[in-house]
Amino acid sequence: MSEMKRDLRSPTAPLIAGFTVTLVTIALFSTYTMHQMRSLRDLQTRTVDRNRKDSLQLLRIQNDLHSLELAMLDILDGDEPYPLAAWKGQFDRTRADLEDALQIESRLGPALRDPERQYQFTVALNQFWLSVGKVFEMSPSRQQKQASNLVRHSLQPQQASLNATVARLLVQNNEADEEVTARIHAIYASVWRHVYIFMIAMLLATLLTGLLLVGSNRTLFKGLAALSEQRSVLARRLIATQEEVLRSVARELHDEFGQILTATGALLLRAVRREQSQTTRRDLEEIRDITQTSLEKIRDLSRALRPSILDESGIEPALEAYLPTYERLTGIRVSYEKTGSSAGVAGSVAIHIYRVLQEALGNIARHSKSQFAWVRLMFSASHLRLEVEDRGIGLPPGTFSGARGVGLVGMRERAELVHGTIEFLRPTQGGTLVRMEVPLG
């Protein structure tokens, strides 16, 4: 018994532990994934998008520097019939656009950029504009020659240096983009790798949990099967004991009490014949009638408990003898129909079929409120079918599936003992139909 209790221990604790581990794993993986997604978002918004916008401003600055270069070439060529002051407006517009672009670029510049280089670029640009101012401040008389020398020896080298600085900044942005792209790819690869690891871990956890559940269920079902076998053995013993007790009581009623009442009736008959007083004779006859009625009731009770014809002739004669007695005692008319024939069903099979019939007819008398009943006994080559039907109030709906109640459970137990089946049905016309099938052979 202690071993069975150990086998039937509940798998709830291991399953809860496995479920908890699974939830913790999912929470950790979700936290890790959210952290990686935030890192990707920061890289894209803080670095990639910012670098892209900064590169656009650098290209804008580079384009402005190129415009200045073209203007200075025009000044050096001297092909245009315009005075030097005619280019001042172009330089001023380009300077305004450059300052706007530099202001935006200073906000978008990467955090890793060297501040010293940014400062040198600003100083060089200011120096360039100072030189430009000197060019346009020259007097018209010596403007062209000195301006050309200043442009050639000062402005063009400064513009080239500024252009080279902007080009290096663009290269740095491209390198930063490549680095960020590599980091993004690494994060994606790490996420995918951990996704695969998580999926494998979840599959293993599910497999282990399933194996644990299957093992626990097998253990439980094994224990339940053992308990069911013990219950069946106990049911067989109880039913066998019950039948033995009923047989003993029926024999005692028939043999002992029947003989006593028979002898009492014979003595009373003899006393009636000898008695001369009419009053006494009537009393003795009344006592004899009561004794005879008691004898008949005891014989009916003996046959109901364990009819001897059941052991001697089998189920068919026992039913034919029992049904008239049932009609007489209950007032319920029974329509009996037999189909087919057999070599005779006796022994324990006949006893169990007879008890099922008794219980079914007893339920009709106690509960159905029906005045009619139908009993059908059908034989085939391999099976026997017993049907007991009425048109009464019927059993409650939940009773048909579970067969609740001591009597119904006993009927099911008896059907299982003879390897048969029993059904409790509700016919379309109403009432109850008890159908029992028993294999023969």
Domain boundary assignment for the chain: 2-213, 309-439
CATH number of 309-439: 3.30.565.10
How far apart CA 25 and CA 400 sit, in angstroms, is 47
Give per-residue pLDDT as tens, 150-161.
878 888 888 888
Provide the 3-class DSSP secondary structure of residue 441.
coil
Query: By C-alpha distance, which of 313, 320, 321, 352 is closest to 337?
Result: 320
What are the contacts of 400-407 at 24+ separation with CB within 8 A? 400/424, 400/425, 400/426, 407/359, 407/362, 407/363
Q: Is the dihedral of CA 97, 100, 102, 104 positive or negative?
A: negative
**H-assigned helices in 154-277:** 156-251, 258-274
Query: What secondary structure does DSSP assign to 84-103, as a single string?
Result: GGGGHHHHHHHHHHHHHHHH
How far apart CA 406 and CA 350 sit, in angstroms, is 21
Q: Mean pLDDT over residues 371-393, rounded?
A: 91
pLDDT at residue 294, as a whole number: 76
Give per-residue pLDDT as tens, 204-255.
877 887 787 788 778 888 888 888 777 777 777 776 676 666 666 666 665 5
The one-letter code for the residue type at 291 is T
Provide the 3-class DSSP secondary structure of residue 423.
strand
Look at residue 97 and tell me whether its pLDDT is greater than 50: yes
By residue count, the chain amounts to 441
Rg over alpha carbons for the chain, rounded to the nearest Å, is 56
User: For residue 78, what pLDDT band results from cuts at 50, 70 and 90?
Assistant: low
What are the contacts of 240-246 at 24+ separation with CB within 8 A? 243/306, 243/351, 246/305, 246/306
